[in-house]
Chain A
Amino acid sequence: MKNKKIVFFPAFKRVVPADFENWLEHMAAEGWHIERVRQWSSIIMIFKKGKSKKYRFVYDLQAVPGKDYIPTYEQFGWECLGRMASVYIWRMEYSGERPEAFTDNESIVGRDKRTIAAVSVSFSLFLLGALAATITAVFFSGSLSAGDRNQLIALAVFLIILAILLGTVMIYIYKKGKQQKE
Chain B
Amino acid sequence: MNEEKAVKKYIPMTETMFFILLSLQQEHHGYGIMQYVRQLTNNRIILGAGTIYNSLSRLESDGLIKALSDDDRRKTYITTELGKKILQAEAKRIAELYKNVKSLLKEPR
Q: Which residues of A contact B (CB under 8 A)?
A: 58, 60, 66-69, 71-73, 75-76, 78, 90, 99-104, 106-107, 110-111
Contact = CB atoms under 8 A, between A and B. Distances in A.
A89 B75 CA distance: 22
Contact of A76 (B16, B34, B72, B75): B34
Given A68-B30, A72-B30, A104-B15, A111 B50 contact: yes
A102 B31 contact: no
B29 interface: yes
A110 B30 CA distance: 19
B18 to A, nearest CB: 11
29 contacts: A58-B50, A66-B53, A66-B57, A68-B75, A71-B72, A71-B73, A71-B74, A71-B75, A72-B30, A72-B31, A72-B52, A72-B53, A72-B56, A73-B50, A75-B29, A75-B74, A76-B30, A76-B31, A90-B49, A99-B48, A101-B49, A101-B50, A102-B48, A102-B51, A103-B16, A103-B48, A104-B51, A107-B54, A111-B50
Contacts of A106: 14, 16
Q: Which 4 A-B pairs give the minimum distances between C-beta atoms?
A: A101-B50, A75-B31, A76-B49, A68-B75
Contacts of B31: 72, 75-76
Nearest to A68: B75
Contacts, number: 67
Contact of B50 (A68, A71, A102): A102
Contacts of A66: 53, 57, 75
Interface string B64-93: 000000001111000000000000000000
Given A102-B48, A103-B47, A106-B14, A73 B74 contact: no
B25 interface: no
Contacts of B14: 104, 106
A132 B31 CA distance: 50
Contacts of A72: 30-31, 49, 52-53, 56
Contacts of A67: 72, 75
A99 B34 CA distance: 13
A30 B51 CA distance: 29
Contacts of B45: 103
